[in-house]
């Protein structure tokens, strides 16, 4: 994990995606979550080494399986996403979870580690832009073009930081496929 600005953290070594966290005076706001249970545990442990403050909210940058499956590994009441992402998640077929786990396990991951996994439909949505306000931070969320309808970016202008989800990913090509 790297602190890229005071209170802003990224981890780029998890499988399938990069994640971020903003430490506010009240607790953490997560930008995406690792889909693999052991990566989620490692992310929680890394954050706990920084602060014992709670995880307040999760921002899901799109509806891809690697961006939404991991939300269930974190205990938070607030999950934010674009309305199109929320609608896509609500429309996932009953076979979605089985198909997603199969795809994630393709690299030798044991299926049993995904016991208890479930899709959490985000609790807060927006269509164009939104601001989260936690512990002295104003965190702008912006609807932006990307690989899926409902892509969002998290922009921290004072820190000159932009979380882009699958639109720009470290060490891999952008993901341009179905959820």
Convert the pLDDT of each residue in 73-86 to its tens digit: 898 999 999 999 99
pTM of the model: 0.89
Is 172 part of a structural domain of the chain? no
**Total domains present in the chain:** 1
Q: For residue 96, with 0-12 CB atoms within 10 Å meaning exposed, 13-18 middle and 19 or more buried, which class applies?
A: middle
Residue 174 has pLDDT above 70, yes or no: no
Least confident segment among 76-85, 104-113, 114-123, 136-145:
104-113
Is 82 part of a structural domain of the chain? yes
Pick from 19, 73, 13: nearest CA to 41: 73
% the chain with pLDDT above 90: 59
Is 119 part of a structural domain of the chain? yes
CATH number of the domain encompassing residue 8 = 3.60.15.10
pLDDT of residue 97: 81
Least confident segment among 61-65, 90-94, 103-107:
103-107
Is 11 part of a structural domain of the chain? yes
Q: Domain span at residue 151? A: 2-167
Mean pLDDT, rounded, for 50-67: 93
Is 75 part of a structural domain of the chain? yes
Mean pLDDT, rounded, for 140-154: 92
Q: Using one digit for the tens of pLDDT, what is the confidence trace for 151-164?
A: 999 999 999 999 99
pLDDT of residue 177: 57
Pick from 111, 107, 119, 51: nearest CA to 81: 119
Pick from 79, 116, 122: nearest CA to 101: 116
Residue 15 has pLDDT above 70, yes or no: yes
Residue 60 has pLDDT above 60, yes or no: yes
Mean pLDDT, rounded, for 37-61: 96
Order of strands, sheet of 19-23, starting from the edge strand that comes earlier in the sequence? 2-5, 8-11, 19-23, 28-31, 55-59, 78-82, 124-126
Is 179 part of a structural domain of the chain? no
Is 141 part of a structural domain of the chain? yes
Is 79 part of a structural domain of the chain? yes
Residue 64: both structure tokens together: 């891809």
% the chain with pLDDT above 70: 91
Task: Show the CA angle centred on residue 85, arms to residues 98 and 61, nearest 5°.
Answer: 95
């Amino acid at each position: 994990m790297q602190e890229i600005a005071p209170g802003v953290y990224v981890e780029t070594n998890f499988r399938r995606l990069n994640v971020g966290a903003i430490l506010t005076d009240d607790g953490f706001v997560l930008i995406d979550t690792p889909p693999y249970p052991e990566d989620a545990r490692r992310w929680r442990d890394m954050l706990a080494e920084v602060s014992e403050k709670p995880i307040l909210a999760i921002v899901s940058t799109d509806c891809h399986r690697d961006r939404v499956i991991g939300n269930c590994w974190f205990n938070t009441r607030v999950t934010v996403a674009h309305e199109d992402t929320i609608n896509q998640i609500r429309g996932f077929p009953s076979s979605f979870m089985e198909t997603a786990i199969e795809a994630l396990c393709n690299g030798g991951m044991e299926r049993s580690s995904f016991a208890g996994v479930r899709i959490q439909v985000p609790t807060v949505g927006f269509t164009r832009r939104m601001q989260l306000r936690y512990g002295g931070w104003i965190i702008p969320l912006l609807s932006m073009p990307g690989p899926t309808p409902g892509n969002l970016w998290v922009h921290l202008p004072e820190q000159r930081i932009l979380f882009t989800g699958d639109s720009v990913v470290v060490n891999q090509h952008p993901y341009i496929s179905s959820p």
